[in-house]
Amino acid sequence: MATPRTEASDPSSAAPVLSVRDVNKTYRSRRGDTVANRSVDLTVRPGEIVALLGPNGAGKTTLLRQIAGQLLPTSGRIEVGGVDMVRHPLRAKELLSVIPQECEPKLSLTVEEHVRFFALLKGVPTKGIHEYTDRLLERTGLTPYRSTLVRELSGGLRRRVLIAVALASPTMQLLLLDEPTTGVDPEARRSVWQLIDGLRAQRIGILLTTHYIEEADYLADRVAIVNGGRIIAEGTVDEIRDHLPYRGRVEVRGLDHLSPEGRQRLDALQLRYPVGFRAGNVERLRVPDPFAPEIARELARLAEAGVVASVGPVSLEDAYLALVDGKLEGAA
């Protein structure tokens, strides 16, 4: 499980380590303007994890690159640790670390050599560098692999090496992660999640982009859903779910194997509860209360007809799909 949010660790009263205000990014060409971000407002505070969710091309990575100082915004203001990224980029960049999606550690080095080398590059004094490296390896769970060549590590452990390198900066306040577990197997993904989640205790602000709804649900204190370059909804997972006008769902699988009786009973159920999602062999019906007695009776009737169905509360994925598909108005 993710680290419980307690009052002592609540970052809401702290000054933000990241402040994005009315940021816009427009690419101009002879063929016309392309708007990548529009009127984006976002904050991240010490010890807080904020996840950016959105489809491909929504503007997540463009926003991350502007925050990192790799792209200039067309307009708006970005501050890292109170330092303006546009006016004072070198000072601002000293306060953040970035792990891009397409990034690999140096395969020919051992884990210890890799972390120590980049710690020196980030300004850690030579005196005491071995003790500093030891602490980084311990914080990231890499001590057992210190003498292992990076090329011999699994994908999940390589991501840990990159996180150790990011943490090597002695002045870092903000960590930017672009799709931190892409290409990592499910077991290793959980391990990386636990490492990222543990960083909140060190008062590091974290902004990550992800395509994994489960990743955002597990890690994030707040979620910002991005579509068409805009943040269309922002809040805690519960607040995002509360955008939905219904509280539960019935999920039906195996639509192409329904018997005539099963099809008839499902059609009757659809007259009472609208379809919120349909893809392939899966269909989800929106229900006001997933634990109401009438829902249990409907499930029993479907089971009698051989229909595989389950019931549960709405998820972050339900809200995300409804928001991105434009089925919820005024959510932001």
**The pair of three-digit structure tokens given for residue 138, joined into one six-digit string:** 């311990």
- pLDDT tens for 249-271 read 999 998 888 899 999 999 999 99
Structural contact between residues 37 and 25, judged by C-beta atoms closer than 8 angstroms: yes
Rounded Cα distance between 293 and 272, Å, is: 15
Rounded Cα distance between 168 and 186, Å, is: 27
Helix-helix angle 155-167:129-139, to 10 degrees: 130
- pLDDT tens for 58-103 read 999 999 999 999 999 999 999 999 999 999 999 999 999 998 877 7
Name every residue whose Cβ is closer than 8 Å to that of residue 221 and which is 6 or more positions away in sequence.
5, 11, 48, 49, 50, 200, 236
pLDDT at 330: 43
**The pair of three-digit structure tokens given for residue 137, joined into one six-digit string:** 């390896």
Rounded Cα distance between 274 and 272, Å, is: 7
Structural contact between residues 307 and 262, judged by C-beta atoms closer than 8 angstroms: yes
> Tell me, what amino acid is at 63?
L
Indicate the pTM of the whole model: 0.85
pLDDT at 6: 45
pLDDT at 152: 94
By DSSP bridging, strand 18-29 and strand 275-279 are: unpaired
pLDDT < 50 regions, the chain: 1, 4, 6-8, 329-332
In 3-state terms, what secondary structure has residue 163? helix
Cα 276 to the chain's mean position, in Å?
23
The secondary structure of residue 173, as a DSSP letter, is -
Domains in the chain: ranges and CATH: 11-241 (3.40.50.300), 248-313 (3.30.70.600)
